[in-house]
Chain A
Amino acid sequence: MFLLSFVPDALIQLIVNGILIAGIVGSVVSFFFGFFVRWMPWIIPYRMLLQILSLVLLIAGVYFKGGLGVEMEWREKLRIAEEKVKIAEEKSQQVNTVVQKVYVDRVKTVKDTQIVVQEKIVEKEKIIDAECKVPKEAVDILNEAAKTPGAKK
């Protein structure tokens, strides 16, 4: 079946239809043999051969016709599925671009706010430091809290 994907659909259909039609014609001829023999007396010695051959062709033709129908149905399903996946991948890519932009904008806002806060601290430094001295223990506790729990030292 894999190799069939390289053969054009029209050619496969032509071959399958050919086998089926040959089988039908052969079966009709062998079924009404007495009728056809009047016009084609030379087929008398080939009666048995014609019966077997036409039956084989008919069975093969119906089999291939059914198989081809299913194959075409699968190809169509595959095409639809591939199309859906392609659309989904395009949408995913678009989402990524939007998410990336939103992230960069949000981080910029955070950094801008940070700069403003730092500037305010520098501006009010004298007022902040005027009435308060921070003991060493307070800084140690703060640093201890800032360390990532469970991280290697």
Chain B
Amino acid sequence: MKRLIILAPALLLSGCLTFGTTAPVRHKFPDVPPELLKSCPDLQIANETDKLSDVLKIVSENYGKYHECRVAVDTWIEWYKTQKEIYNR
């Protein structure tokens, strides 16, 4: 009887080990808007011409493409910062 009483605390304490597990909760990685998954387009190549206006058109089109690409990169940065903040909260 006395031996059993001595054994009891050891058995009781072992219960603490049995139940200590990690909570199975997963935070799904958020999907990025599909528009941002497109890569930047190649720059336009000028046809053979001696007219400055034709060259200017190509150059300005290429500037436009750069600006579009910059918008995409800036949006990516904003998206990442905001999502990181939400994830870490």
Q: How many residues of A contact B (CB 8 A)?
A: 56
How many Å lie between the Cα of A142 and that of B59 in the bound state? 9
Of listed B31, B53, B58, B74, residue having the most chain A CB within 10 A:
B53
Q: Is the interface of A mostly helix, strand, loop or mixed?
A: helix
Complex contact A89–B67 (CB within 8 A)? no
Complex contact A95–B82 (CB within 8 A)? yes
Complex contact A129–B23 (CB within 8 A)? no
A13 touches B (CB below 8 Å): no
Give the residues in chain A near B67, CB-CB below 8 Å: 110, 113-114
Complex contact A88–B62 (CB within 8 A)? no
Complex contact A89–B50 (CB within 8 A)? no
How many Å lie between the Cα of A133 and that of B83 in the bound state? 52
A49 touches B (CB below 8 Å): no
How many Å lie between the Cα of A77 and that of B27 in the bound state? 15
> A121-139 interface mask toward B, CB cutoff 8 Å, 1 = contact, 0 = none?
1101100110011111011
Complex contact B21–A74 (CB within 8 A)? yes
How many Å lie between the Cα of A38 and that of B8 in the bound state? 30
A78 touches B (CB below 8 Å): yes
11 interchain pairs (CB within 8 A)? A67-B19, A70-B16, A88-B86, A88-B87, A96-B30, A99-B36, A99-B79, A114-B61, A143-B45, A146-B58, A147-B45
